[in-house]
Amino acid sequence: MRGPSGPRQILEIDLAKLFADVAAGSVKPAANYQRVCGTIPGSLEVDGNMGLDANDDFMYFRVQGPETASLSPGQTLLPGFGPRARQSTSGLRSMNLKTGEIKTIVNVGFQIGHVQTNPWVPGEIIFCWETTGKAPQRTWFVKSDGSGLRPLYPEAPYEWITHEAVIGKDEVVIAMLGHRSIASATPDSNWGIAGTQEHPTGVAIVNLRTREMRIVGQVPEWSGGKSDWHVAGSPDGRWASSDDFNYRVWLYDRHNGQISMLAGPQKAGTDHIHPTFNQEGTKIEIQSALISKDDKALNIAIVPVPKAFLNRSYSDKVPQ
């Protein structure tokens, strides 16, 4: 995270106006398409890690620095964890996008990452304890008024949870990694005993209301992909998806449990595939180096869910 470097602004960009001018060949200076929603003071350390509320009226964003040292009730300064451990405090703030007013949501005793909102329910925020690897408690939930702060999925020391994503009004998908060998994951090793196949792993879905968790799929042992890595789910509750350590794309049918490989293996590129469903649950967006000349540069690619899969019928369905 960057240190203080002066005030930062949150901008609203009118893309419809911009694209119309692009089509007409009459693009104007940037100021013609931008509106300043508000200014974040230089005393707050920010880096663009933020999420837009479901009603598009508030932006929630991560901060660090001296103003986060006063922790919210029940929070304590936690020790750094992992080989790149560093102890720090951080917090969440909200900005009213109409007035620019900034309010404190919460301050915690660890480094916040992956700030995202529930696109279906206003005022719900999901975030993580970012260690760049395993965290003692990865996933967190809080409401925009600072209430309800709690672990989203309370994890055990042997579990390696990562890459949470809100996939429906009541559901968050998480990856339970099993990418390390049992022999290598000793208490004195980097990241400790977590992330092996000695315990359940796979694509798991947590219900925000009941707090129940279900594992809905797992990379097959024969695939050689080691483990599910980044995960996604369709809003209709029908599909889940993941990539693995061989850069394949997997599809999990939540109605009948069928597992299908849709794409891969692919070139590693400069980053992960990171699947995401479209709103209709018919296509999966990934970033891929498959057609890059240097095997590194990433392109946005679309992996369709096969029509034969979409046309399946079931005697029992996931209730909506």
pLDDT tens track for 85-96: 888 999 999 999
pLDDT tens figures, 62-73: 999 999 999 999
For residue 202, how many C-alpha atoms fall within 13 Å in the half-sphere facing its CB? Answer: 19
How big is the chain by its Cα radius of gyration, in Å?
21
User: Has residue 228 got a pLDDT over 90?
Assistant: yes
Q: Does the pLDDT value for residue 319 go beyond 70?
A: no
Which pLDDT band, with edges at 50, 70 and 90, does 289 fall under? confident
pLDDT score, position 85: 80
- Does residue 1 surpass a pLDDT of 50? no
Which helix (H) or strand (E) element contains residue 286?
strand 283-288
Average pLDDT of the segment spanning 227-252? 96
How confident is residue 320, by pLDDT bands cut at 50, 70 and 90? low
The pLDDT of residue 2 is: 46
For residues 129-136, average pLDDT: 94
| Residue whose token pair is 């964003």 | 61
What is the arithmetic mean of pLDDT over 13-22?
97
The single-letter code of the amino acid at 91 is G
Q: What is the pLDDT of residue 175?
A: 97
Give pLDDT, residue 224: 87
First to last CA, the chain: 40
Res. 290 pLDDT band, cuts 50 70 90: confident
Which residues have C-beta within 8 Å of that of residue 100, sequence separation ≥ 6?
Answer: 36, 37, 38, 39
Question: What mean pLDDT value characterizes the chain?
Answer: 93
The ranges of the chain annotated as CATH 2.130.10.10 are 157-320
Predicted pLDDT of residue 317: 64
Pick the CATH number of 157-320 from 1.10.238.10, 3.40.309.10, 2.130.10.10, 2.30.110.10: 2.130.10.10
The DSSP letter of residue 242 is E
Q: Which residues contact 308 (CB under 8 A, 6 or more apart)?
A: none
Of 112, 117, 173, 107, whose CA–CA distance to 138 is shortest? 112
CA angle (212 as vertex; 208, 217 as ends), nearest 5: 105
Residue 146's pLDDT is: 97
**pLDDT for 137-164, tens place per residue?**
999 999 999 999 999 999 999 999 999 9
% of residues, the chain, pLDDT over 70: 97
Q: Any idea what DSSP says for residue 69?
A: -
- Is the model more confident about 80 or about 4? 80
Q: For residue range 20-53, list pLDDT tens digits in order.
A: 999 999 999 999 999 999 999 998 999 889 999 9
Percent of the chain with pLDDT over 90: 83
Instruction: Find the range with the poorest average confidence among 94-98, 198-202, 249-253, 266-270.
Output: 266-270
